[in-house]
Structure 1
């Protein structure tokens, strides 16, 4: 494998998951966390990793791991506590943080919306796209001269699915029609923010999509149709308007049948305002979906796997690096000329510090090795991949799942805030130093 010169090796976090509440405004997630039973264990992100105050320590961790890039988000509810006017002190903070990253030789990858927005706002409202553009402008005015890589929206499908269709994330709405509308407005927000960003020279703007390859459970025509329907619902409904020729006709017809009406909220000119603005595509990959036909309404498909004895994370998700390789190759062929970046890839492994004070997370080491190898195979096959950002730098508040799932290369003791680099973090540092060439899986005692 040979990764191109300038390939970005890094990791990511998001503001709401690590910063804590200190000095910011009320978020839709603050409201959601106060709902009884909304968050596993009843926790919230009032402290999280306390990174708003401990950011210098986090920059040193990034430096120690040898990361060449760091994905983070500016908190919308921090930058605009009331949703309208920017707080200069918040922008001062992010300016200091970006300068510290650059001083450490680290490329900032900035996300504008990683699910955190001021209380009272909703993607169900078209006006939110315009408010988002104003927020993007305030951040860009301060940072566009130093930040090249900008992610407008993180995982539009997950925002629509969990926030507005199932009610499992903020703002906790459970209505299919509202979810489809919200997803459209998220994409409109991408287009509006990208226009603002492109007013600044040298900026690369894109969205990060949660992409799940959809495979049929059997070779039957019905299961193939189910996989294609799922692919439209999960992937193409967002990929095509961003990078192609507008919303895919088959999925649009599905929504109109399911909702019983036309998508009147998609106005003339909307698709043109979304498309043609992505300088790259961010890819969040975790696993795949295996689909079978089903008589369910409104979805004539169901997830049936992967089943059986396959490698899984502690969250039960199949570990399948080959699907990532094939996804990257397929995207590069379908959207030639669009650079790709792995903006999230990781797994839940609950290893804790042992008697020696270290975290011997050998399963995450194997996960890293195999997924980086898959990216390398895609690059060798011609995919234009510009970077790999592991999720996540550190254990953090995992939304409705609270503090149980641990994704980090760095262990966080939530009671004290103490950070401990896991064996996987040290392995990743060696892998980066080798330009992506994976060292052999080491004995635990090899890490000092």
Structure 2
């Protein structure tokens, strides 16, 4: 999903000092192995359509974002065929979310039809041979919660926990991986940006999310022994930002994270600041340095020693025609990224899985311009909402079949020295293609 660009000063982060070692120069990069899982990701609001009243439905209708969501790619009616598409890729994880507003359109009154939809989705994922990764909050909450004050009121966390417990009780049988809050810092920022949160209540929302995380974590482990629970954190391409963000949520939540969930999309270096195009929403103009995921994973291994890591979201933005000014193709970006995943694991990072964002193009929080899908869908000009495979579909099938890119593969783009994703480590220990 799209990321906001925050203008900040870059500060020097602590040097890399973990136990991650480097193999001998010239060594090939081994496959990720049978214990590694590839996956795909999406969210309910961005893909389902036919949404119930919510904060984000209102933002669209109030003109606070570029365009309303409409019925997006109509996953609500086409979920079975899309899940089959995911299974055909050979992936083992299917990430989606349960929309609170769909199952509880009025406070205290659950909608059986809403629950039945998710019953069908989760059953289909399991029957297709994949493990669900269920997100409990992907920035969307019901309209009735907005009317009560949203995260400005102390009781919002309790309502969120009550909803989450019902989801957990209903779907624990599927042995899902759990994501409590999707990118909680972005959730806070967007609520503040669009008027759902007043500035004086930013701390209240942050504290409420942490409190809800703790309650949900305990409940999941009571209901589903051996469960894996986390929140996925947006890894910004500027070290100083990341230091601050980690103090807001990840470090406060670390005792309720069974793994560290990472989202990462864009790079930033002293020679390439094109990530600034995100400020205008033209994310496809932001150039890519796929080795930045390698730096991110090394940093996470250092900051959260002993915790496994899962890449919950990663992908490439193209324009509405599937193009990029730099000519980078989705298939090449995917292969290059997987190479660096293999390098990170080879160098000692306990990396367990990788999800591609996203299975299909969808609503990117305000418009349909940025395309991230393995399958492209032209919502604005194709009433049939045809799913058309990009070149990355075949590439992903090859990757999942082989457990990675083959020995001898070399990324299509050389690493950029001294990436600002993590300084000074990226300068002192630069990524090297082997």
Question: Residue 12 of structure 1: CA displacement?
Answer: 0.4
Whose relative contact order is higher, 1 or 2, with alpha carbons under 8 Å and at least 6 apart? 2
Look up the match of 2:247: 236
Counterparts of 2:388 and 2:158 in 1: how far apart (Å)?
41
RMSD: 2.7
Question: Residue 334 of structure 1: CA displacement?
Answer: 2.4
Look up the match of 2:164: 136
TM-score normalized with structure 2 length: 0.78
After the TM superposition, list the runs of 4 or more consecutive aligned residues in structure 1 that deviate by more than 6 angstroms. 308-313
Residues 73-109 of structure 1 deviation map (CA, whole Å, 9 limit, x = unaligned): 1111112111433323222221221121111111111
Counterparts of 2:287 and 2:246 in 1: how far apart (Å)?
19
Match among 194, 209, 228 for residue 217 of structure 2: 194
Match among 49, 60, 65 for residue 39 of structure 1: 65
> In the alignment, does 2:13 pair up with 1:13?
no
Q: Structure 1 residues 241 and 314 mapped into 2: Cα distance closer, same or farther (>3 Å)?
A: closer
Aligned residues of 2:106 and 2:144 also touching (Cα < 8 A): no
Counterparts of 1:395 and 1:113 in 2: how far apart (Å)?
20
Look up the match of 1:446: none
Q: Structure 1 residues 362 and 335 mapped into 2: Cα distance closer, same or farther (>3 Å)?
A: closer
> In the alignment, does 2:305 pair up with 1:336?
yes
Aligned residues of 1:84 and 1:131 also touching (Cα < 8 A): no
Counterparts of 1:198 and 1:308 in 2: how far apart (Å)?
43
Counterparts of 1:30 and 1:76 in 2: how far apart (Å)?
13
Residues 235-293 of structure 1 deviation map (CA, whole Å, 9 limit, x = unaligned): 332221011xxxxxxxxxxxxxxxxxxxxxxxxxxxxxxxx222112111112456xxx
Counterparts of 2:234 and 2:112 in 1: how far apart (Å)?
32
Look up the match of 2:7: none
Question: Residue 342 of structure 1: CA displacement?
Answer: 0.3
Look up the match of 1:327: 296
| Partner SS, residue 347 of structure 1 | coil
Look up the match of 2:187: 159
Q: 1:22-421 maps to which residues of 2 (within 5 A)?
A: 25-36=52-63, 38-40=64-66, 42=67, 44-121=68-145, 122-164=150-192, 166-167=193-194, 172-173=195-196, 175-200=198-223, 201-215=225-239, 227=240, 230-243=241-254, 276-288=255-267, 306-307=272-273, 314-350=283-319, 352=321, 363-400=329-366, 402-414=367-379, 415-421=383-389
> In the alignment, does 2:392 pair up with 1:427?
no
Gaps of 5+ in 1: 216-226, 244-275, 291-303, 355-360, 442-448
Counterparts of 1:85 and 1:284 in 2: how far apart (Å)?
34
Counterparts of 1:338 and 1:234 in 2: how far apart (Å)?
19
Aligned residues of 1:284 and 1:344 also touching (Cα < 8 A): yes
Question: Residue 190 of structure 1: CA displacement?
Answer: 1.6
TM-score normalized with structure 1 length: 0.76
Question: Residue 32 of structure 1: CA displacement?
Answer: 0.9
Q: Structure 1 residues 83 and 338 mapped into 2: Cα distance closer, same or farther (>3 Å)?
A: farther
